[in-house]
Structure 1
Amino acid sequence: MQLRNFFILILVLIFSAGYAQQTSNRFEEEDARLNQNEVDNAEPFKDELPQGPGNPGEPVPINGYIPVLILTAVGIIMYRNMQKNAS
């Protein structure tokens, strides 16, 4: 009985997610309409747009802290294991 109810619940979730992906979304339609208006308005300034790929941005600041984060994680794991073994 429990397995059948679980199976039905899973099927309902799968089919509802599938239905949600297939139906039209009025927010997408509005976004498409607004984007089309922006494209129509941008035509006179088409020559002024920069060509080529965009700026990659600044380096990620967490890269310098990766060794510290790894050592901290190992330290926490060792501390928890020592507490578990002590009790």
Structure 2
Amino acid sequence: MSKRKRNYTTDFKKKAIELSYSRGSIAQVYRELDIPSSVLSRWRREFSEYGKNSFPGRGKPKLIEEQREIAALEKELRDMTI
């Protein structure tokens, strides 16, 4: 029987990351929070790479503010040239 996919809030993810750094032990944190070690490791990696833009939700690509602005400007340019 397969496990149901769990959804975690952005706040939960950030607090889990914070705990893992403050305690110095990923293993202790993932056991306490009952989350897979690979998930916590991925969250830490994503947070170190994207910072405050991590975990945008709903599977949207992780775009930093500048990338979002560029995408909006490119769309505006396409709309103007058509």
Decide: shared fold, TM above 0.5.
no
Question: Considering only CA atoms, is the larger Rg found in Structure 1 or Structure 2?
Answer: 1
Instruction: Please give the TM-score of this superposition, normalised by the length of structure 1.
Output: 0.29
Instruction: Please give the TM-score of this superposition, normalised by the length of structure 2.
Output: 0.30
